[in-house]
Chain A
Amino acid sequence: MGKILNPHQGFWQNAERKFVDQELESELITDDIQIVYDERYVPHIYAQNMEDALFAQGYLEAQNRLFQMDLMARSVSGNLSEVIGKNPAVLKKDIESIRKGHRTTAAFLQETFQKGENTSVLDKYTQGANHFIKSLDKKDYPFEYKLMDFSPTLWSTEKSIYVLISMADLLCGRADDFEHNNLKEILDEEVFTYLYADNFDIKEPIVPRGTPFNFDKKSDHFDPSMNSYGKIYKTDFSPNRIFGAGSNNWAISGEKSKTGKPILANDPHLGLSLPSIWYELEMHTPEFHAHGVSVPGLAGMMIGFNDDVAWGMTNVSHDIKDFFRITYTDESKTKYFYGDGVKEITKKQETIKRRGEEDYVEQVAYTEWGPIMYSKDSIDLAMHWLRSNYAKKDEPSVYVNCMKSTSYDDFIHNTSGYVAPAQNFICADKSNIGIRVNGTFAAKEIGDGKFIKDGSIPAAGWSDYISEDQLPHSKNPERGFVSSANQRSTTGEYPYYFNGTFATYRGERINALLSAEDKLDVSSLKNMQLDNFNIRARDFLPMFLEVIKHYEDEEYKSILKDWDYTYTEDTEAGTIFYVWYSNYRKMIFDEFSPYHQEMYLKYPFDWKIFELSTQYPDHIIFDNASTNKLENRDDIIKESFVKTYEDLKTESDLAWSAYRPLYIDHVAKISGLGSGAIQLGGSGESINAMRSRFGPSWRMVVALGEEIDAYGVYPGGQSGNPSSKYYKDMLESWVEGDYYKLKLEKDPNKISASRNLKIKSGR
């Protein structure tokens, strides 16, 4: 306690007093760099070349977000226990990272990236970060380091790679193989096949219906005998990270825009935290001027704009992870069957350093497919993840190259060579709009990757990848807009098969709104980002109400009757519907209840439950096995309504924002450093996709033209220092649905500076 409260060395030294302008020197840059922090503490970097600009980015992100970067790298490298000791949950997380093979993946990526011409991208960023870290005196250590009592270590390209792996783990680390294996056992074959079918007939795919694919490829069906069926019980280690991400982006053409030039909007939804996942910055070199947001730890900007183009991302969600069941030759588990022969297991010892305790050694068995991630009841499963096995040397440059793109076609060219996490790369220049499903995907046979596979059959693996020119892509479609919201990339006309976890409602709503108006402007696009309409409610509620229409008029019914399906802050109907639908779904799938605790399961997608409810109201799945009666849909709607009434009768306030407030926690969940309860509207299925710890992490709207007209906001602030006035200064504007004007300011003297920084070249 004395250490952290010591006025000379402890927290008090982190107090943000008057900013002092700084002048530093480095031999690692070729020219002087000028940095001006504006009134929101957004740095504007003026450098003479890209390398120097990235050096500055590394410096600034370390200066403002070092703990967060460190934590992100540790969270997937098995190095959390090194700083958080004697905590079984933390050790478990580290072991999970090791079992997923993240350290091996990092080494593989490091090796591949070093072959590229562009390793300097990561090197320059690292040098800049380390210029800051080396300057730190103990009394300057960021707040969290003092509280948790450990010292920052130098940044490295390897740590940047771990940040990339962490993003990949979150965004493309999901596979439903375990769930499908279990569901196939629990449900009747026919029921399973119907409820968990792929939606080839999606109403609003990303690439518009009817877009021709100018190549042929005949996909065969994946041979089901190469799957390995059977129940899989839970272990301590989850195959998937809990996934709650979902994002929107869209761009309208000049014809659809009041200004006559394209406008682009992007709002990525992620688990929200303080400090925020994003760091906003602006870069100027003689070659380009760009403004946008980066993920601290990675060079470049993921989302942003320059004089000529605006670009953004949403997650693709294709399944790029398979599990293979290993059949050993004998109990020693040293050899396993593979093809006509036998292969040896390779054992790797990985050490987890533990604070205040002896090192923990985890031995991981590697197969041809990948590490054995799951081991229980004599079932051993190896994990094969595209991110661990496939890399391109120039990947680290993609987010850097976005910044210097001069046109749509240049952007497409600059963002090639991208692997994972796959993203829907959207871009608009002054006369073109387009979207490309960008990333590396296996060329799969139909049905490939739905279940756990038989690891003794080499042909069960992927043999080929989709070439870049065959990726789903839409440029200047006739309808005058492109959009994505984590839905399926294409209809079934796309020659390649793909599966994954796809949303539907947001995409449907976005396209409906974009189609409805002839001319749109920045403010209409902002309003769209804040749209709280819920298609799930629009679909289900009329059916629900029809079933209970003969019920005596009572409170809930009258509240629901007049609802416009919009999740405003104070809607009570929204709360009732949310609980009602959750109960309805749970009661339909009463088949799950004996298994929920012990195995991974998942509900069918909402659109499928709707189809089931409207087309097959007497389907056997509606029956509740624990009663003698044969229930149908209407019975379940009625029973779930009664249950909802019971669930909510103890709630003192039914307003949506009181029932489901938003919490933005500190990145390390340190109590007192989060936001507390925030009351606002939005719902998981609205464009304004708000959940209790999840929501639009950056809202941006950019109108292209002679003069760029751009706006943005995120729920946090630029500084990672909890006592800074810039720690969460933008939160209130974000809650209110306000935006800040983002300006490409080429003249540093025109910025109302909160702080100046100069890094002189010492060469």
Chain B
Amino acid sequence: MKSFLLDMVKLCLAVFLGLFFFPWYFLVVLTLIYGALRALSWKAAFFIPFLAVFLVWAVYPLVISLQDDFRMANVIGDVFGGLPAFAILLVNGLVFGFLGGMASLSGYFIRNLF
């Protein structure tokens, strides 16, 4: 459990810092590499990157939203057909967390093929 948490925190930091310099799909590359080189089980391969990316893509916008009274979250919700702000934050985290998880899982399975 400890290593699970530690990996998650490290990956989370890597995603957070990396996105200051690289385009968004950096998270796919990073999680894929994680899955291919480091993940110990398929569960770890999915959930660690999922949570790491979720944290960055939902919690960072949440922090921003707390500073602008959720106005941007509401605007994005309006543009995407009237979703409420909390749903936008959740979807933002879930969709890209899932993407990170799946990328990592792909890496993990590719490694196991050989």
Residues of A within 8 A of B (CB): 1-3, 5-12, 14-18, 143, 147, 670-673, 722-725
Known A12-B72, A672-B80; contact A3-B65, beta-carbon cutoff 8 A: no
B76 beta carbon closer than 8 Å to chain A: yes
B residues 33-53 in Cβ contact with A at 8 Å: none
Known A17-B67, A670-B79; contact A723-B24, beta-carbon cutoff 8 A: no
B20 beta carbon closer than 8 Å to chain A: yes
B96 and A673 contact, CB distance less than 8 A: no
A8 and B20 contact, CB distance less than 8 A: yes
Q: How far is the CB of B102 from chain A (nearest CB, A)?
A: 13
Taken together as a complex, chains A and B put the C-alpha atoms of A1 and B60 apart, in Å, by 17
Residues of B within 8 A of A672 (CB): 75, 77-82
Residues of A within 8 A of B19 (CB): 6-9
Q: How far is the CB of B59 from chain A (nearest CB, A)?
A: 9
Taken together as a complex, chains A and B put the C-alpha atoms of A3 and B96 apart, in Å, by 11
B61 and A7 contact, CB distance less than 8 A: yes
Q: Find the A residue at minimum CB distance from B58.
A: A7
Residues of B within 8 A of A673 (CB): 75, 78-79
- What 1/0 flags go to B18-33 for Cβ under 8 Å of A? 0110011100000000
Q: How far is the CB of A729 from chain B (nearest CB, A)?
A: 11
A3 and B23 contact, CB distance less than 8 A: yes
Q: How far is the CB of B47 from chain A (nearest CB, A)?
A: 21
Residues of B within 8 A of A2 (CB): 24-25, 96, 99
Known A7-B19, A9-B19, A672-B82; contact A14-B72, beta-carbon cutoff 8 A: yes
B80 and A7 contact, CB distance less than 8 A: no
Residues of A within 8 A of B23 (CB): 3, 6, 9
Q: How far is the CB of B18 from chain A (nearest CB, A)?
A: 9
- What 1/0 flags go to B62-84 for Cβ under 8 Å of A? 00110111011011111111100
B105 beta carbon closer than 8 Å to chain A: no
Known A2-B96, A7-B64; contact A722-B75, beta-carbon cutoff 8 A: yes
Q: Find the A residue at minimum CB distance from B68.
A: A15
B108 beta carbon closer than 8 Å to chain A: no
Known A18-B67, A724-B71; contact A12-B60, beta-carbon cutoff 8 A: yes
Residues of A within 8 A of B96 (CB): 2, 5
Residues of B within 8 A of A (CB): 19-20, 23-25, 56-57, 60-61, 64-65, 67-69, 71-72, 74-82, 92, 95-96, 99
A15 and B92 contact, CB distance less than 8 A: no
Q: Find the B residue at minimum CB distance from A10.
A: B24
Q: Find the A residue at minimum CB distance from B92.
A: A5
DSSP majority for the B interface?
A: helix
Residues of A within 8 A of B71 (CB): 15-16, 723-725
Q: How far is the CB of B93 from chain A (nearest CB, A)?
A: 10
Taken together as a complex, chains A and B put the C-alpha atoms of A724 and B77 apart, in Å, by 15
Taken together as a complex, chains A and B put the C-alpha atoms of A671 and B76 apart, in Å, by 11
Taken together as a complex, chains A and B put the C-alpha atoms of A671 and B92 apart, in Å, by 20
Residues of B within 8 A of A143 (CB): 75
Q: Find the B residue at minimum CB distance from A16.
A: B68
Q: Find the B residue at minimum CB distance from A672.
A: B78
Taken together as a complex, chains A and B put the C-alpha atoms of A672 and B64 apart, in Å, by 21
Taken together as a complex, chains A and B put the C-alpha atoms of A18 and B67 apart, in Å, by 7
A17 and B68 contact, CB distance less than 8 A: yes
Residues of B within 8 A of A1 (CB): 95
B79 and A147 contact, CB distance less than 8 A: yes
Taken together as a complex, chains A and B put the C-alpha atoms of A2 and B92 apart, in Å, by 9
Known: A6-B23, A6-B24, A7-B61; 20 extra A-B contacts, CB below 8 A, are A5-B76, A6-B57, A7-B56, A7-B92, A8-B19, A8-B60, A9-B19, A9-B23, A10-B24, A15-B72, A16-B68, A16-B71, A16-B72, A17-B64, A670-B79, A672-B78, A673-B75, A673-B78, A723-B72, A725-B71
Taken together as a complex, chains A and B put the C-alpha atoms of A104 and B71 apart, in Å, by 43
Taken together as a complex, chains A and B put the C-alpha atoms of A724 and B75 apart, in Å, by 10
Taken together as a complex, chains A and B put the C-alpha atoms of A3 and B80 apart, in Å, by 15
Residues of B within 8 A of A722 (CB): 75
Q: How far is the CB of B19 from chain A (nearest CB, A)?
A: 4
Select B24's contact among A9, A15, A670, A724, beta carbons within 8 Å.
A9
Q: Find the B residue at minimum CB distance from A138.
A: B23
Q: How far is the CB of A9 from chain B (nearest CB, A)?
A: 7
Select B79's contact among A8, A10, A671, beta carbons within 8 Å.
A671
B57 and A7 contact, CB distance less than 8 A: yes
Taken together as a complex, chains A and B put the C-alpha atoms of A671 and B60 apart, in Å, by 26
Taken together as a complex, chains A and B put the C-alpha atoms of A738 and B99 apart, in Å, by 50
Residues of A within 8 A of B60 (CB): 7-8, 12
Q: How far is the CB of B86 from chain A (nearest CB, A)?
A: 15
Q: Find the B residue at minimum CB distance from A18.
A: B67
Q: Find the A residue at minimum CB distance from B63.
A: A7
Selected A-B contacts with CB under 8 Å, 29 pairs: A1-B95, A2-B25, A2-B99, A3-B24, A5-B76, A6-B57, A7-B19, A7-B57, A7-B60, A8-B20, A9-B19, A9-B24, A11-B72, A11-B75, A12-B64, A14-B72, A15-B72, A16-B71, A17-B67, A17-B68, A18-B67, A671-B79, A672-B77, A673-B78, A722-B75, A723-B71, A723-B74, A723-B75, A724-B71
Q: How far is the CB of A678 from chain B (nearest CB, A)?
A: 16
Residues of B within 8 A of A12 (CB): 60-61, 64, 72
A5 and B57 contact, CB distance less than 8 A: yes
Q: Which of A16, A672, A722 has most B Cβ within 10 Å?
A: A672
Q: How far is the CB of B63 from chain A (nearest CB, A)?
A: 9
Known A6-B19, A9-B24, A672-B80; contact A723-B92, beta-carbon cutoff 8 A: no
Residues of B within 8 A of A5 (CB): 24, 57, 76, 92, 95-96
Taken together as a complex, chains A and B put the C-alpha atoms of A14 and B79 apart, in Å, by 15
Q: How far is the CB of A703 from chain B (nearest CB, A)?
A: 36
Q: How far is the CB of A467 from chain B (nearest CB, A)?
A: 53
Q: Which of A17, A18, A143, A673 has most B Cβ within 10 Å?
A: A17
Taken together as a complex, chains A and B put the C-alpha atoms of A753 and B64 apart, in Å, by 23
Q: Find the A residue at minimum CB distance from B79.
A: A672
Q: Find the B residue at minimum CB distance from A1.
A: B95
B67 and A15 contact, CB distance less than 8 A: yes
